[in-house]
Amino acid sequence: MAFIRSARPFDAFRALADRRGRPGDRLIESLAEARAGTPDGPERWAPAVASRFGLPAAAALGPASYYADLSAPHGDRHVRVCTATACFAAGGGQHLAEVERELGVTAHSASPRGDVSVQTVRCLGYCYAGPAALDGGTPCTGATLPAQLAGREPARAPGIPAGDDTGDPVLLGGVLSGEPAWQVWPGTVSSGTPEAVRREVAASGLRGRGGAGFGVAAKWEAAGHAPGTVVVANGDEGDPGSYADRLLMEADPGRVLEGLALACFACGAGRGLVLVRSEYPAALARMRDAVRRAYADGHLGPSAHGTATSLDIHVVEGAGSYVAGEETALIAELEGGRGSARPRPPYPTEHGLWDAPTVVNNVETLAAVPWIVRHGGRAYARRGTSGETGTKLVCLSERFARPGCYEVELGTPVRRIVTGLGGGLKDGAELAALQVGGPLGGFLAADALDVPLSEAGLSSRGAALGHAGLVAFDERVAPEDVMRHVWDFAAAESCGACSPCRVGSRRGLRWASAGAPPDQEWERLSRVLTEGSLCAFGRRIPPAVRSLARAYGGRPAGWGP
């Protein structure tokens, strides 16, 4: 029987954009340019942008009213304040009110004269030094954040501390010892084969490091090596608490691009894209500069290193959305639409970007590929555990005595990471709860850290590996406040594409603000979120909430055992 690919539902806006030359990221860039420096709502300036592309007003109003960077008013000076988990844990979330007082502007508004505006965002990648803000493109961090933004103190933005716990890093060789990138690609494209690359990656057991943990070789095979295949490097690292992708893109962008080139070669793709979240302006600049150097050095172009292989890579800036890190939502963003999750099937490897077979791999995943091709898949598979091979970048938040990004083998005990690498909490504070893998990853109690850092180990405790960001909460933050923070994140970042998540997250936030839900209502909502949500975002909310209640010994009450 012939294999039949799944049909994709008809999308009128997408079909029209296809006929208008597929504006995609050019539409988003034009909207961002129109937004800059104006406090007016999208209804004032978005229709004109749509008109320039020959599109109806709704085609621009949709993304302009959806993405945080486009919907928020922008004054001449635009300040983005991080309210994500690590910055929240650093001072119980009080820094936002202090910034508002210093600047005389409330969040999501501009001053009457339009000279200053404030926007809240969820993670700027400074989880190790929070609280943090971006003043235009200038980062400011630490306890004196309000004074820095007021100009009474100079801006402070320390580099990312990094360390290796493996003895032979897969991912941090360039960051820690200056090991040059692009050592594998020239020989591979000149004398290697796509089959050999796929074979080594399959032998390695490498799984996606963006949270879903899908087998990389299986995803590559699913694209079928079809003509027109596209590979996307997902640099929309959205899990608050993780800054591993930011570290790689800023400190070793060539390694990320080399991994993307090898993935394109293995998948038979002549085009690669890198999407970098707008909250990482330095990473965006360094990735673009690395692409220019790669073309100049002959790694990319119509004849890579004099071979018949043609490969083009383009860097795209995101527009501010957590859910847009999910692969179908990311593809929608690249097409110029709202970054909402799409039903599956069809899967992106069948019908992805403009219906082309599309492989989406996260930045950390791709950065491991050059090592695997160079040293062999079996060498990689000897690391980690039998079911989850290799290494992982783990990020420790500002509350730790030694915050930073550490490369560890999967299966390393969480307690060893917390106490050995992180040195416990700073100033002798006691750990109250540990968040693992982002706000919807899960929480562990202080006496429940004897668990391996692996998806299997963490899921047995109601948590998830995710990006492996570890955010510590001490006793200064009340459990009820942490619960409200989780629900606030869920309600604010739900893409709204499915009613279980859209309605359920808002209802949960109302309950958290009131203190606790009715038990029967919570159980009913929990089932609806778990079984009816379109993507993992909604499905992860109930286990994250339950794990938080368990971590605090049943407090806050009413959220299940």
Q: Cα(92)–Cα(77) distance, rounded to whole angstroms?
A: 26
Residues 6+ apart with CB under 8 A from 234: 210, 275, 325, 327, 330, 360, 361, 362, 363
pLDDT of 341 reads 84
* β strands within 346-448, DSSP E: 358-362, 391-396, 404-409, 431-436, 443-445
pLDDT of 20 reads 76
Q: Cα(361)–Cα(377) distance, rounded to whole angstroms?
A: 18
Token digits for 34? 């129109």
Phi, psi of 408 (to 5 degrees): -130, 160
Query: CB of 402 within 8 A of CB of 160?
Result: no
Go through 20-43 and write b for each residue having 16 or more CB atoms within 10 A of its CB, e for each that does not. eebbbbebbbbbbebbeebbeebe
At 79, the amino acid letter reads: V
Task: With CA atoms as reference, report the closest residue to 277 among 231, 324, 232.
Answer: 324
CATH assignment, 391-474: 3.10.20.600
Task: With CA atoms as reference, report the closest residue to 466 among 447, 493, 443, 482.
Answer: 443
pLDDT of 323 reads 77
Per-position pLDDT tens, the chain of length 561: 333 445 666 777 677 777 778 888 899 999 999 999 789 999 999 999 999 999 999 999 999 999 999 999 999 999 999 999 999 999 899 999 999 999 999 999 999 999 999 999 999 999 999 999 999 999 999 999 999 999 999 999 999 999 999 999 999 999 999 999 999 999 999 999 999 999 999 999 999 998 778 899 999 999 989 999 999 999 998 788 999 999 999 999 999 999 999 999 999 999 999 999 999 999 999 999 999 999 999 999 999 999 999 999 999 999 988 877 889 999 999 999 998 888 888 999 999 999 999 999 999 999 999 999 999 999 999 999 989 999 999 999 999 999 999 999 999 999 999 999 999 999 999 999 999 988 788 999 999 999 999 999 999 988 889 899 999 999 999 999 999 999 999 998 888 889 999 999 999 999 999 887 777 888 899 999 999 998 888 999 999 999 999 999 876 666 766
Q: Cα(485)–Cα(513) distance, rounded to whole angstroms?
A: 10
At 169, the amino acid letter reads: P
pLDDT of 556 reads 67
Burial-class residue 539 by CB neighbours within 10 Å (0-12, 13-18, 19+). middle
In sequence order, what are the beta bridge partners of 117?
A: 78, 110
The CATH number for 162-379, chosen from 3.40.50.11540, 3.10.150.10, 3.40.50.620, 3.40.50.300, is: 3.40.50.11540
DSSP alpha helices (H): ranges in 40-184? 42-52, 57-66, 68-71, 85-91, 95-103, 145-150, 173-177
Strand order in 431-436's β-sheet?
A: 162-164, 404-409, 391-396, 469-474, 431-436, 443-445
Instruction: Report strand pairing: 230-235 vs 358-362.
Output: parallel
Q: Is the dihedral of CA 189, 192, 198, 204 positive or negative?
A: negative
pLDDT of 457 reads 94
pLDDT of 3 reads 38
Q: Where are the domains of the chain?
A: 12-66, 77-150, 162-379, 391-474, 479-551
Q: Is the dihedral of CA 14, 20, 24, 28 positive or negative?
A: negative
pTM: 0.94
CATH assignment, 77-150: 3.40.30.10
Residues 6+ apart with CB under 8 A from 145: 95, 98, 99, 131, 132, 133
Instruction: Count the Cβ atoms, other than its own, within 10 Å of residue 6.
Output: 10
Between helix 479-493 and helix 536-551 the angle, nearest 10°, is: 180
Token digits for 365? 């995943």
DSSP alpha helices (H): ranges in 151-273? 173-177, 185-191, 194-204, 216-222, 244-251, 253-267
SS3 176: helix
The CATH number for 479-551, chosen from 3.40.50.300, 3.40.109.10, 1.10.10.10, 1.20.1440.230, is: 1.20.1440.230
DSSP state of 420: I
Instruction: Count the Cβ atoms, other than its own, within 10 Å of residue 372.
Output: 26
Task: With CA atoms as reference, report the closest residue to 171 among 436, 460, 367.
Answer: 367
SS3 49: helix
Residues 6+ apart with CB under 8 A from 361: 208, 210, 216, 219, 231, 232, 233, 234, 260, 263
Q: Cα(534)–Cα(524) distance, rounded to whole angstroms?
A: 17
